[in-house]
A and B are shown apart, each in its own frame.
Chain A
């Protein structure tokens, strides 16, 4: 089994990027943002990808991009397809909105609520998107962004507790595994 026939069929109707075949039953395609909704509808209604497995983001801070991954599953065909949408990072930080897909899958509202909180990607039409999801009263930058430093935040926010030593995990493991310094 391969995802090539599906990719060729999609390519005939949508201007999409290259196909990355990770496994015979799993592939990723980068799609233009304006094509996302049409593609999702096509995949859901015509190709049998009825299950939204997850919606998440990856922060490519060096390239000034956020990647949104929409992973869809086709149970009858036992295959998955991941749609990657690249967003300009700086524009998103400044509040550029992203289209919501909660009307296609009601569960998407939860994912979008989490993405707004953890990455600061706003989906203004998504129900309850501005309600706190996990971090009540959070005032820092969204914590799953790469420029949020957990260690620095922890050191500044919490007082050191006596009796606890903190070590760099890599150095500690090295000392344990190679005590003679080899």
Chain B
């Protein structure tokens, strides 16, 4: 049962607007959730100030994963940057490869072969499925349903097998490179992919029954973590989190890239903007990705080049310019801002991950007046990955 009392004036505010929290009064307690905690998404932590079991203030702390990618790239040639960008996001690395490659191609004036665009779209949708499967396991796990994570991890592993036969790697694929993709599809790939998709659909039907029709899951998530559609743009909310609030933001449709204009789909939108709706939007979006993969495999060109001719990559200089490339990853808008200065090295690379806004300003706002036991579910529902905050 949710706590019903009006807490809006408690604790009181100082004249400057900050909360008047006196820890020595014994009314409040500081509690750290993370950086190592089962109910945290990756290596970040939330510093909670609680009164009883209710959160009165939350502050997100990051910095456990900073590797300085943006700086590292400034002293690497354009081709040397390509194998490190994927490491910015572990569960869905392909978006980094695509955004970086597209930015370099645009500034260098490279024309990517059409077949490569189809394969890129296929890979991005496969990555989206992986990411959603991981999310569903985490969302259910945060509320005590460990078995969902076991099921989704199993089918995710099947999708990793498809990645492995395509790229030779399971996690960091390094398949989308400036100019195109490394190779075409292997023989028999379609058949094995179809089997994997069927397995995913069958598992998702079970997940729907066991997770979404579960009384505990419903009671704890319906109404939790409401995001007002009016703050969606103010707080930079994108992706399924925005779509669950009824704002039909989807870069794949709004600013179509790759071969999305040729595919038949409608963004999945929800209404209630709570944790339950966000989970449901992602489940339906996952099924849409399954459908998109079928559409892609039915129409993908089977022959032709997959790489544009590259200049000598050791002496590759890109003229002065700047650009921004965005795509719709499983968590929202993912983008790369690339500035070049005519040399063989990027002048500046800025990675814009959706978690940057979701896990900081938005989470700190949503977490107020939340019960401690709901913090994990709320955080997971924003689907944040700390590496893309810190880079």
Flag if B68 contacts A56 (CB, 8 Å): no
B182 — which chain A residues lie within 8 A by C-beta? none
Per-position contact with A for B111-131: 1 when CB-CB < 8 Å, else 0? 000000000000000000000
Flag if A170 contacts B314 (CB, 8 Å): yes
Residue in chain A with minimal CB distance to B70: A144
Alpha-carbon gap, A2 to B125, bound state (A): 30
Which residues of chain B (293-346) have a CB below 8 Å from chain A?
A: 314, 321-324, 326, 333, 335, 337, 339
Number of interface residues, chain B, beta carbon within 8 A: 42
Q: Quick check: is A141 within 8 A (CB to CB) of the other chain?
A: no
Flag if B68 contacts A110 (CB, 8 Å): no
A53 — which chain B residues lie within 8 A by C-beta? 236, 324, 326, 333, 335, 352
Which residues of chain A (156-182) have a CB below 8 Å from chain B?
A: 169-170, 173-174, 177
Counting chain A residues whose Cβ lies within 8 A of the other chain, the interface size class is 35 or more
B249 — which chain A residues lie within 8 A by C-beta? 75
Q: Quick check: is A132 within 8 A (CB to CB) of the other chain?
A: yes
Select one of A23, A106, A143, A144 contacting B234, CB under 8 A: A106
Residue in chain B with minimal CB distance to A110: B360
Flag if A132 contacts B63 (CB, 8 Å): yes
Residue in chain A with minimal CB distance to B339: A58
The distance from the CB of A154 to the nearest CB of chain B, in whole angstroms, is 10
The distance from the CB of B68 to the nearest CB of chain A, in whole angstroms, is 7
Q: Quick check: is B80 within 8 A (CB to CB) of the other chain?
A: yes
Flag if B337 contacts A59 (CB, 8 Å): no
Flag if A136 contacts B322 (CB, 8 Å): no
A177 — which chain B residues lie within 8 A by C-beta? 314
Per-position contact with B for A1-42: 1 when CB-CB < 8 Å, else 0? 000000000000000000010110110100000000000000
Select one of B337, B348, B350, B356 contacting A110, CB under 8 A: B356
Select one of A26, A51, A58, A143 contacting B348, CB under 8 A: A58
B71 — which chain A residues lie within 8 A by C-beta? 143-144, 148, 150
Flag if B357 contacts A107 (CB, 8 Å): yes
Q: Quick check: is A129 within 8 A (CB to CB) of the other chain?
A: no
Flag if B347 contacts A58 (CB, 8 Å): yes
Q: Quick check: is B254 within 8 A (CB to CB) of the other chain?
A: yes
The distance from the CB of B224 to the nearest CB of chain A, in whole angstroms, is 21
Residue in chain B with minimal CB distance to A50: B233
Q: A53-B352, A78-B255, A177-B314 are in contact. Are A107 and B361 (CB under 8 A)?
A: yes
Q: Quick check: is A91 within 8 A (CB to CB) of the other chain?
A: no
Flag if B323 contacts A51 (CB, 8 Å): no
Per-position contact with B for A120-156: 1 when CB-CB < 8 Å, else 0? 0000000000001111100000011010101100000
Flag if A54 contacts B323 (CB, 8 Å): no
B66 — which chain A residues lie within 8 A by C-beta? 134-135
Q: A75-B254, A135-B63 are in contact. Are A54 and B80 (CB under 8 A)?
A: no
B390 — which chain A residues lie within 8 A by C-beta? 134
Q: Quick check: is B147 within 8 A (CB to CB) of the other chain?
A: no
Select one of B77, B254, B321 contacting A170, CB under 8 A: B77
Select one of B74, B323, B360 contacting A22, CB under 8 A: B323
Q: Quick check: is B75 within 8 A (CB to CB) of the other chain?
A: yes
B80 — which chain A residues lie within 8 A by C-beta? 169-170, 173
Q: Quick check: is B31 within 8 A (CB to CB) of the other chain?
A: no
Q: A105-B234, A109-B361 are in contact. Are A78 and B62 (CB under 8 A)?
A: no
Per-position contact with B for A95-115: 1 when CB-CB < 8 Å, else 0? 000000000011101100000
Alpha-carbon gap, A32 to B88, bound state (A): 34
Q: Quick check: is A85 within 8 A (CB to CB) of the other chain?
A: no
Q: A58-B348, A174-B314 are in contact. Are A22 and B63 (CB under 8 A)?
A: no
The distance from the CB of A66 to the nearest CB of chain B, in whole angstroms, is 11
Flag if B350 contacts A54 (CB, 8 Å): yes
Residue with the highest number of chain A CB atoms closer than 10 Å, among B238, B249, B360: B360
Q: A51-B236, A56-B350, A174-B314 are in contact. Are A110 and B361 (CB under 8 A)?
A: yes
Alpha-carbon gap, A54 to B348, bound state (A): 14
Flag if B322 contacts A82 (CB, 8 Å): yes
Select one of A69, A78, A136, A146 contacting B337, CB under 8 A: A69
Q: A23-B323, A71-B337 are in contact. Are A169 and B350 (CB under 8 A)?
A: no
Q: Quick check: is B169 within 8 A (CB to CB) of the other chain?
A: no
Q: Quick check: is B76 within 8 A (CB to CB) of the other chain?
A: yes
CB within 8 Å of B: which residues of A? 20, 22-23, 25-26, 28, 50-54, 56-59, 69, 71, 75, 78, 80, 82, 105-107, 109-110, 132-136, 143-144, 146, 148, 150-151, 169-170, 173-174, 177
Q: List 5 A-B contacts (CB under 8 A).
A: A50-B233, A54-B350, A71-B337, A107-B235, A150-B68
Q: Report, nearest first, the 4 A-B pairs whose CB atoms are least far apart.
A: A50-B233, A134-B63, A56-B350, A107-B236
Known: A54-B335, A134-B62. 4 other contacts (CB 8 A): A22-B321, A51-B236, A169-B77, A177-B314
